[in-house]
Structure 1
């Protein structure tokens, strides 16, 4: 580790200590979501299950609640529910990364944990350079930088980043999120036999390709993996125009399902599907764990979307991760479910096995709290209309007549209401995680998912209303903190 890197890490530690009391005093700090100790958190990086420990790295600016020269922060866990904050993994100390250690991924090779990431460089005029870099560790805590392994190929702008690396048969592959010189978003494939020398295989899909028309000017954070006989490409395209209930955020995240031909480096795929229909979800990253599950973390935020309006800024921090989710391919759709281990965080519970929800609306004793899990299911009949009001700050609404599911919330700086919606014919179940200033909705066992930040001004209370009196089961648990 160079002196410059040691100095930057020291400065980051001092920044954590400087603002610790203010950060911890914030009523909007979360109990069971990963957050920055100070400053800004964004993309999940290097998510891996390595030597019996889960590692999650994250983009981190410790010095302000805005984007800048990113570090890699680091959490570890033995069980996905109790997390330990580790020393800073990467700091932007070298010439090839001086303006940020940008996003990337992790692999296990020859007993070492290897991180691939993008080094961001800008000159005094703001002109950008980009380098794909490698760092490695023998203990999973301290990393040695090996430098640049891939430079920018012809045909692309310096918006060329976020390497995801995996092994197929006897070769290593890397997918990069890119922008062509024609301002088109692309997913670009490389191949290597030794993780150092990388062969350009080409753009496997993207905007204005054989299978897509205009589809964004930049693709970020690609992740390509095999699941249930299909090759799935998750990507975060920038520049999609809103269409009906789709693409309502500043930038989107979603997936294609298809087949990658490794010999010809061609990817035949279907249409794009958004992963999450809520307000805050971006840059998801997946990996396979010790049990063979395909797990996902995502950033509970969106770049350039209300970021300067979050009230947590007053306490010197902003953003968090989603809860970890397991992906299942059901037919032609990815379902997301909270990982099973989250049930270990449950404490006191309240259950209403056959409660009648009336047209007048009602509250239920014990259905409240700052950090809770709520499951609503076992409907006696399919509800035509069902609402949950959350602290007069957010509302969940299902309307069967319109085949529409809606999440409403008040804007961060006013009482004006904004909505996100998806088509839904029937409501069978709702699983809701509320955590002081966040909500995650899993509808019909993860068929649809909504994620958002919400900032209630008072106690977090819930009330229920049905378009017709309907019987259902409602269960609620308080949720423990995930932090040691």
Structure 2
């Protein structure tokens, strides 16, 4: 088909409806579609937004540029599921069609109240002098219809000492009030976690900044995508960092996402950190968002991507990226543990490891490795493979993309490492047609990445 050259800040509108339908049909016939990772019908997906278990179903919104595999005017696409396996598209989404959001509906979260789902997002508003921070709200009713607040933008200010990059609202209820976290940065180049308070979910009052205490760690020039959740009696804060420099094995991606376990004091505006770590040690992971699923199960999705990547095949396929699989969250010995829901795990083709070379018959497969005689897993053939090197006793694993023909994001390195505080007991690998998630010791550490070997086989060395 003939692809249109659509201007970067173009929202979905009637004049493009026929073209988008044609583009979706084109993308359906392209290869490399995953089976169990939410991905766009066309165009680009990045941050998960508005995650909720509402009305007996899971609702996932995500940042979506429909017209091509690059960053542009962001919409909130919307998919719905009862079981986290099969997802249905919903036409009820956020389209940036108002002046206050003229450059896109950026990231945010949701909260249920009075039988409705309140959606919070950053209304992206650019000028020649820079961004003007604006936060907006929409309400999804029980029948699924979504209406933007007539009072938008509900926050239209830039507190003193902060830069105009204030974004990604995360709203939660605690101590009889509603609170909003926002990511931002100070005029002197320090990342800031900004706090607002409300009694009615629509009128918000600036409270200042939350300081992280009990930790001496350089955290970059800006926070993105904050989220907060209680897990196993502990407060857990997620932050995505911009401008954080590498430190040992950590923080080698263009941007990094970190969790902090501790105690949040809204009165003192502090988060006292007891433990922390990078959430995922792979190449392609960013912008996680935590939420409560069915029966208040702590959960998370993240973007399976990072930054402005140029991936193999994206320009010809006309779609790019996915979300991670949903992950159930627990805290064990101060560490965030992540597990794939059992019903999703059971959907994968489970491969028997009865030889040193396995040729999967499916594009989507799973292996659980426990044989400590194996020191390397190669996904692909000898000339073109992802290498995963293992030191079981030391609890050390290295994912190496240098032996792949299709290279990308090499400016951020070709290896990622994990050194655990215990010996390795098992390695679970989920391969979903180039989308790879690796879980060590039942999710005590994870590595998420893409790899594009042309001939998919598994060699155990």
Return the match for 1:130 from 129, 133, 137.
133
Report the counterpart of residue 420 of structure 1 in structure 2: 416
Offset, 1:293: 1.0
Query: Structure 1: how far apart are the matches of 2:143 and 2:184?
Result: 29
Query: Structure 2: how far apart are the matches of 1:288 and 1:415?
Result: 33
SS, match of residue 341 in structure 1:
helix
Report the counterpart of residue 153 of structure 2 in structure 1: 148
Report the counterpart of residue 314 of structure 1 in structure 2: 316
Cα distance 1:30–1:222, how it changes in 2: closer, same or farther (>3 A)? same
> Deviations along 1:42-92, whole A, 9 cap, x unmatched?
000000000101000000111222212211001000111110011151111
Query: Structure 1: how far apart are the matches of 2:233 and 2:26?
Result: 49
1:202 aligned onto 2:208: yes
Report the counterpart of residue 363 of structure 2 in structure 1: 370
1:444 aligned onto 2:444: no
Query: Structure 1: how far apart are the matches of 2:47 and 2:408?
Result: 28
Query: Structure 2: how far apart are the matches of 1:216 and 1:58?
Result: 25
SS, match of residue 445 in structure 1:
coil
Report the counterpart of residue 388 of structure 1 in structure 2: 377
CA contact (8 A) 1:113 1:140 kept: no
Offset, 1:39: 0.8
Offset, 1:205: 2.5
Return the match for 1:287 from 291, 305, 309.
291
Query: Structure 2: how far apart are the matches of 1:251 and 1:205?
Result: 21
CA contact (8 A) 1:236 1:251 kept: yes
Offset, 1:408: 1.4
Cα distance 1:13–1:464, how it changes in 2: closer, same or farther (>3 A)? farther
* Ranges in structure 2 where 5+ consecutive residues have no aligned partner: 1-9
When the two chains are superposed, the root-mean-square deviation of aligned CA atoms in Å is: 2.3
Cα distance 1:136–1:390, how it changes in 2: closer, same or farther (>3 A)? same
> Deviations along 1:418-440, whole A, 9 cap, x unmatched?
21111135221111110111110
Query: Structure 1: how far apart are the matches of 2:170 and 2:200?
Result: 15
> Deviations along 1:284-315, whole A, 9 cap, x unmatched?
011111222101100000013xx123322221
Query: Structure 1: how far apart are the matches of 2:37 and 2:20?
Result: 18
SS, match of residue 125 in structure 2:
strand
Report the counterpart of residue 3 of structure 2 in structure 1: none
Report the counterpart of residue 57 of structure 1 in structure 2: 61
TM-score after normalising by structure 2: 0.90
Query: Structure 2: how far apart are the matches of 1:107 and 1:53?
Result: 14
Cα distance 1:162–1:190, how it changes in 2: closer, same or farther (>3 A)? same
Report the counterpart of residue 253 of structure 2 in structure 1: 249
SS, match of residue 158 in structure 1:
coil
Cα distance 1:295–1:411, how it changes in 2: closer, same or farther (>3 A)? farther
SS, match of residue 270 in structure 1:
strand
Report the counterpart of residue 461 of structure 1 in structure 2: 457
Return the match for 1:185 from 160, 181, 191.
191
Query: Structure 1: how far apart are the matches of 2:397 and 2:63?
Result: 32
Offset, 1:136: 0.6
Offset, 1:268: 1.2
Cα distance 1:351–1:210, how it changes in 2: closer, same or farther (>3 A)? closer
Report the counterpart of residue 164 of structure 2 in structure 1: 158
Offset, 1:341: 2.4
Offset, 1:105: 0.5
Cα distance 1:58–1:27, how it changes in 2: closer, same or farther (>3 A)? same
Offset, 1:201: 2.0
Query: Structure 1: how far apart are the matches of 2:361 and 2:11?
Result: 46
Aligned residues: 441
Offset, 1:414: 7.6
> Deviations along 1:270-295, whole A, 9 cap, x unmatched?
35410100010000011111222101
TM-score after normalising by structure 1: 0.86
Query: Structure 2: how far apart are the matches of 1:265 and 1:415?
Result: 38
Query: Structure 2: how far apart are the matches of 1:75 and 1:189?
Result: 29
Query: Structure 2: how far apart are the matches of 1:211 and 1:328?
Result: 22
CA contact (8 A) 1:96 1:131 kept: yes
Cα distance 1:55–1:68, how it changes in 2: closer, same or farther (>3 A)? same
Which range moves more in the overlay, 214-223 or 419-428?
419-428
Offset, 1:176: 0.6
> Deviations along 1:197-226, whole A, 9 cap, x unmatched?
2122221126xx784453201100000111
CA contact (8 A) 2:139 2:147 kept: yes
* Ranges in structure 1 where 5+ consecutive residues have no aligned partner: 1-5, 466-484
Offset, 1:38: 0.8
Offset, 1:368: 5.0
